Amino acid sequence: MAEAGSFAEKVKQQADIVRVVGEYVRLKKTGKDFSGLCPFHQEKTPSFTVSPLKQIFYCFGCGKGGDVYNFVMDMEKCEFLEAVKLVAEKCGIPIPRPKERSPEERKENQQRAVLVEMHREAQTFFVKQLQGTLEGKAARAYLEDRGLDKDAVTRFGIGYAPSGGDELLRHLKSKYNEKLLVESGLISREQQGGRLFDRFRRRITFPISNESGKIVAFGCRALGDDQPKYLNSPETPIYSKSNVLYHLDRAKEGIRRQDFAILVEGYMDAIAVARAGISNVVASCGTSLAEQQIKLLARFTRRVVVNYDPDAAGQSATERSLSLLLEQDFEVRVLALPPVGDKKADPDLFIREKSADEYLKLLKEAPSYVDYLISRARQMDLSTGEAKSRAVNFLLPYVQKIPNRILRSEWATRIAQQLRVDEPVLRAALSKAAAERRGELKLQPELVGRAAKPVERRLIRMLAEAEGFRQDLAQRLQNAQLYHGLETEKIFAALVIASLSGQPVQAAEVAAVLQERDRRLLFEILFEEASEPTWEEALSCIEALQHRQAEQELAEVQRSIEASPTGPDLRDLLTRKQELMRRLAAAR
């Protein structure tokens, strides 16, 4: 961990933020800084600024700001360590090979590598079985009937597991021992007798890849009436269903580019949508979306269109997924496809029977999840007060998960109107849900810049930049508690701690510990035009804060005197008043 930290610091010191940002944004030199159109929000006039001196960026429009790692993490939707690697690669800095911590770890890594290779070989085997065998002919006919031509089959690596029961086993066992074969999930062992056999038999195979594109599992569909209809790989050292989204390795660039993902249930749905020219689609491979899958998706976007199957299981899965997505603050829409004739339509059927253009049109019109849920509630019996109560109770948990309080209130009102909820008790329940988000203690402060006094802004700038006297300044401010009670107190506190640490102050690291509006104010101050600071100016600013502190204390003393003109503390208050008045007079 320490090695990773020291390498990250080394990369940061050597990286040029202007060069890195310039790969994404067309920058123009403006004075000491560079400016351009912000990549994080739509704008016509540049409000995005990069400082080569401070090695930070800030957008005065949307408030995004930070160092080179923050920028790459936001642009690439990646974690910190991945951002360090990307910046190092962009700057031509060699990346050290990670040290394996123990023989056990080396053994585990070797085992994972072998299992990945085994899956690669299994994929080659399944593809050959589909394309080059007599038994594979029926599977080819089935795929053609589903609208998948040879190019599509090749593009998505679709194969066939033969019915024999031991053909893959015979293909692999000359290279791998029994323990590895079973651990791979490709081969199963009978509980009685211990005989080994192929897990997948007489099934269409769909390779499941991890984010980096390595095959780690298979999803398989029965060719005939065998049960279960769908059978996936079990959990293995290289595969955990909750950590993988089907097609993400191919979809992630499209998701980043379009800033939303389409979430479907199965492989055929994902393939159909992708073949329609819509690259940003992933499948949860079943009706249960896992929290880890959502966190994986969050690395690329926070906007999702859920398009699960329209049957009862799919509707239940949609509602479960909504709860999980909303808890992770996703912006969610729901696409509920209309029937095709007398058939309920999943994405695959809809695109085959209708068209890709019709699907794309409905995708663009997909309503907010709240509209979807209201339409679901309106399908319930609403003829009695008790029935309306059930409908409202169905909606309340989702109202509580809306992040913004104003939006919660608007949706609560809309629900009451659309469900014709007139009963005071039900309206009160909706109002309460609108007022109290589960897990929320208070409203977020408005994310707008605040006015900080010029003297505060100047001192903040000095603490961030005045290498020669930063520590002395921080010590004086801390000893006299001059920033206590100021609106900028938390900014001062963070900068004072950083200044007294004896290490160079990194503006982005200071900003990272601040609340959003303090963070934005700090960046705004750091990007202001300013002259070189001097110690004399610092002393003058300290005197100004002391003067303001004395004025505030004098006002408090005067209020105390007026509140209790005959109180026991009157003499002490009058003495303190005289001291403060003398101090203020001497400072004039």
State which residues of the chain have pLDDT below 70.
Answer: 1-5, 98-101, 286-287, 403-405, 422-452, 580, 583-588
Question: What is the C-alpha to C-alpha distance for residues 508 and 69, in angstroms, rounded to an integer?
Answer: 9
Residue recorded with tokens 């403006």: 30
* Phi, psi of 314, deg, nearest 5: -65, -40
Picking from 516, 537, 517, 529, the residue whose alpha carbon sits closest to that of residue 463 is 537
3-class DSSP state of 152: helix
564 sits in the region (left: phi over 0; alpha: psi -120 to 50; else beta) called: beta
Q: In this predicted structure, what is the pLDDT of residue 99? A: 63
133 forms beta bridges with none
Residue type, 179: K
Residue 203 and residue 222 in contact, taking contact as beta carbons nearer than 8 Å: yes
Burial letters for 114-147: b for 16+ Cβ neighbours within 10 Å, e otherwise? bbbebbebbbebbbebbbeeeebeebbeebeebb
Question: What is the C-alpha to C-alpha distance for residues 14 and 94, in angstroms, rounded to an integer?
Answer: 12
208 forms beta bridges with 217
Picking from 380, 405, 394, the residue whose alpha carbon sits closest to that of residue 319 is 394
Tens of pLDDT, residue by residue over 423-482, are 455 556 656 665 654 443 232 333 333 456 788 888 898 888 888 898 899 898 888 888
pTM listed for this prediction: 0.62
Strands, sheet with 56-59, edge to edge from the N-terminal-most edge strand: 28-30, 33-36, 48-51, 56-59, 65-66
Question: What is the C-alpha to C-alpha distance for residues 155 and 337, in angstroms, rounded to an integer?
Answer: 26
Question: What is the C-alpha to C-alpha distance for residues 255 and 248, in angstroms, rounded to an integer?
Answer: 9
Residue recorded with tokens 């299981």: 313
Residue recorded with tokens 């502190």: 549
Q: List C-alpha distances in Å: 175 to 23, 185, 195, 284, 297.
A: 46, 16, 18, 33, 36
Helix (H) / strand (E) containing 205: strand 203-209
3-class DSSP state of 98: coil
Question: What is the C-alpha to C-alpha distance for residues 413 and 562, in angstroms, rounded to an integer?
Answer: 48
Residue type, 551: E
Question: What is the C-alpha to C-alpha distance for residues 25 and 497, in angstroms, rounded to an integer?
Answer: 34
Question: What is the C-alpha to C-alpha distance for residues 320 and 120, in angstroms, rounded to an integer?
Answer: 34
Picking from 323, 209, 318, the residue whose alpha carbon sits closest to that of residue 263 is 318
323-329 — which CB contacts under 8 Å span 24+ positions? 323/397, 323/398, 323/401, 324/289, 324/291, 324/294, 325/289, 325/294, 326/369, 326/398, 326/401, 326/402, 327/401, 328/291, 328/294, 328/295, 328/298, 328/302, 329/302, 329/403
Give the 3-state DSSP-derived string for 475-500, with helices as H, strands as E and coil as C: HHHHHCCCCCCCCCHHHHHHHHHHHH
Residue type, 359: Y
341 sits in the region (left: phi over 0; alpha: psi -120 to 50; else beta) called: left
Residue recorded with tokens 């070797």: 110
- CA–centroid distance for 1 within its chain: 23
| All residues at 6 or more sequence positions from 218 whose CB lies less than 8 Å from its CB, including other chains | 119, 122, 126, 186, 200, 205, 206, 207, 208, 232, 233
Residue 506 and residue 67 in contact, taking contact as beta carbons nearer than 8 Å: yes
